């Protein structure tokens, strides 16, 4: 297995997925990694709902971008080898065809609800990488379920009313070549003392 530092450098956001589903045992481990993430006040408030169903992921992936406004992002560019919805307007799902998607919920009115969810997501993508599974963290959790179909899903999944989706973790196998390690911008740190 890759050493942690190497693994962190190797991990990339994957937006091209094979049809092949991940197994439940790996999914369970990835979820557990999320549950062990640092969390504000030790409150363990995040709740992970894993959608291990490619068709349902595709349906929710479309909801994820219904309010996405490209016009505000003119000039930005995300990835040449793994184009995002910003780069390619032809992409119709914010989940890029990933066969499994974990929605991370956290309390609506808690100051650290968002950082809690993203800490959880980061632990999950690192564990996925260690297991040879590709991943991508996705935003727009709040708006994804803020519609008729979305609220019906939350009801069916019995998500508490005071909880809101903060982000998603896509999981699957990279279709095509795994992207290279990305160079870092210079001047992003200093050490004092």
Ligand X SMILES: Cc1cc2nc3c(=O)[nH]c(=O)nc-3n(C[C@H](O)[C@H](O)[C@H](O)COP(=O)(O)O)c2cc1C
Q: Is 138 in the site for ligand X (CB under 6 A)?
A: yes
Interacting residue with ligand X among 126, 136, 159, 165 (CB under 6 A): 136
Question: Residues touching ligand X: how many (CB under 6 A)?
Answer: 13
Smallest distance, ligand X to C-beta of residue 14, A: 8
Both tokens of residue 184?
């870092």
7 binds ligand X (CB under 6 A): no
- Can you list the positions of beta strands (E) in the chain? 47-51, 100-107, 134-138, 163-172
- Give the distance, in angstroms, between the CA of residue 187 and the centroid of all CA atoms in the same chain: 28
Shortest distance in whole angstroms from residue 148 CB to ligand X: 22
Nearest of 124, 144, 142, 133 to residue 59 by alpha carbon: 144
CB 147 within 8 A of CB 108: no
Torsion over CA: 55, 139, 93, 7 (sign): negative
Which of 15, 16, 45, 54 touches ligand X (CB under 6 A)?
15
In the list 24, 67, 70, 182, the residue contacting ligand X (rule: CB under 6 A) is 182
The helix or strand, by DSSP H or E, that contains position 53, with its residue range, turns out to be: none
* Both structure tokens of 157: 């999944």
Query: Does residue 166 bind ligand X (CB under 6 A)?
Result: no
The three-class DSSP label of residue 118 is helix
Q: Does 78 bind ligand X (CB under 6 A)?
A: yes
Name which of 145 and 161 has its Cβ closer to ligand X: 145
CB of 161 to ligand X, least distance (A): 25
Q: Which is nearer to ligand X, 15 or 16 (CB)?
A: 15
Point out which residues bind ligand X (CB under 6 A): 12-13, 15, 78-79, 84, 118, 136-140, 182
């Amino acid at each position: 297995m890759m050493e942690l530092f190497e693994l962190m450098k190797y991990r990339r956001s994957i937006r091209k997925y094979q049809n092949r589903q991940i197994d439940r045992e790996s999914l369970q481990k990835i979820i557990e990694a999320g549950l062990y993430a640092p969390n504000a006040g030790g409150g363990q408030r995040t709740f992970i709902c894993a959608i291990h169903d490619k068709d349902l992921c595709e349906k929710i992936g479309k909801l994820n971008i219904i309010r996405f406004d490209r016009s505000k992002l003119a000039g930005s560019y995300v990835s040449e080898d793994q184009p995002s919805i910003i780069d390619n307007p032809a992409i119709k799902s914010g989940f890029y065809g990933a066969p499994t998607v974990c929605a991370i919920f956290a309390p609506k009115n808690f100051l650290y609800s968002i950082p809690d969810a993203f800490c959880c997501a980061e632990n999950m993508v690192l564990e996925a990488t260690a297991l040879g599974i590709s991943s991508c963290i996705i935003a727009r959790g709040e708006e994804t379920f803020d519609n008729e179909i979305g609220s019906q899903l939350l009801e069916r999944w019995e998500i508490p009313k005071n909880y809101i989706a903060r982000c998603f973790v896509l999981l699957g196998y990279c279709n095509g070549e795994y992207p290279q390690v990305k160079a870092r911008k210079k001047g992003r740190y200093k050490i004092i003392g």
